[in-house]
Amino acid sequence: MKKYFIFILVCLASCSEENSSSETIHQNEANFTISKNSERSAWNNIQVGEVLKFDLKIKDFDSSAGVVYVLKPITTDATKHQQNKIDYNFQEEIKVLPSGLLVKDSIVAKITRDSIILKKANSSFFVSILKPGNFVQGYALHKMQSNKYVAASTQEMLFSAVKIEAYTRSVQTDNSTMFSSSKHSRYYEFTIDDGDQTNDLYLTDSDTKQNSYTALYNGKKYDGNIAINTVMTFSEKVNTEKGPQIVPDWILSELKSTQKRNHEPDNIITYSNLNIKQK
């Protein structure tokens, strides 16, 4: 009988150690997932100047006292556009109170951070795009307990951004004389920059990919081939006399890129409502 009693005690001790070990592993996890916010319907047409929203979910969120989760962008590789405050701004959305106003008058603002403290299992953060290119963004979630790091994990997000500049310019081609009026030509042009790193080839032609465009401006379409950092046309030149043509619309309604890829369906990328500048 004594032997059985000892055996039961050993089993109980073993089970207790197993449960304790399992609980420790569970507590020292920082597993999370990042997803692209569903409010944006298309993620293949990102432009410089846009602010992207990402959703984050922490698995098995630990709400114990003294536990803090810290999210940090990984900023080690400039070729992958990972430099915070250079390639992008890593931002947190918070409520701020302008000077002299009441609490009820607080406004929501996006503040650039080096890291963000997450207080809920489900939260969001923002990325403001500063440069064009193919982004390979890495994020690390650190779990801290009593001011000590106890766990961490990482995840990557991939996307591409371009910089598009649409503009119009007028050139006087002939001076007025006693017998004739001055002559002018107005041009409608744009440029695309898809980045300056080796792998920044989002809209760049290659052996396996060719890019063309269709521009919709003032109710008319104009087609051409995309050439990166080269002047392209989105509407016919307009010749006038006496003075330059008045610009009919300061918005380029649509710029649609069609990527023809070997043995794959065409990839259609649509940029809408681009502001036109005066040069």
Residues in the chain: 279
Mean pLDDT by 10 residues, the chain (279 residues): 42 42 54 97 97 97 94 97 98 81 75 97 98 98 92 96 98 82 95 97 96 98 98 97 96 98 93 97
Report the pLDDT value the prediction gives residue 18, as an integer from 0 to 100.
44
Question: Of 129, 167, 139, 136, nearest to 45 (Cα)?
Answer: 129
Report the pLDDT value the prediction gives residue 13, as an integer from 0 to 100.
42
Map residue 46 onto helix, strand or coil: strand
Find all residues with CB under 8 Å of 113, minimum gap 6, and list them. 90, 91, 92
Report the pLDDT value the prediction gives residue 49, as an integer from 0 to 100.
98
Q: pTM, whole model, 2 decimals?
A: 0.85
Report the pLDDT value the prediction gives residue 105, as an integer from 0 to 100.
67
Q: Cα–Cα distance between 163 and 174 in angstroms, integer?
A: 34
Q: Cα–Cα distance between 89 and 112 in angstroms, integer?
A: 6
H or E element at residue 257: strand 251-261
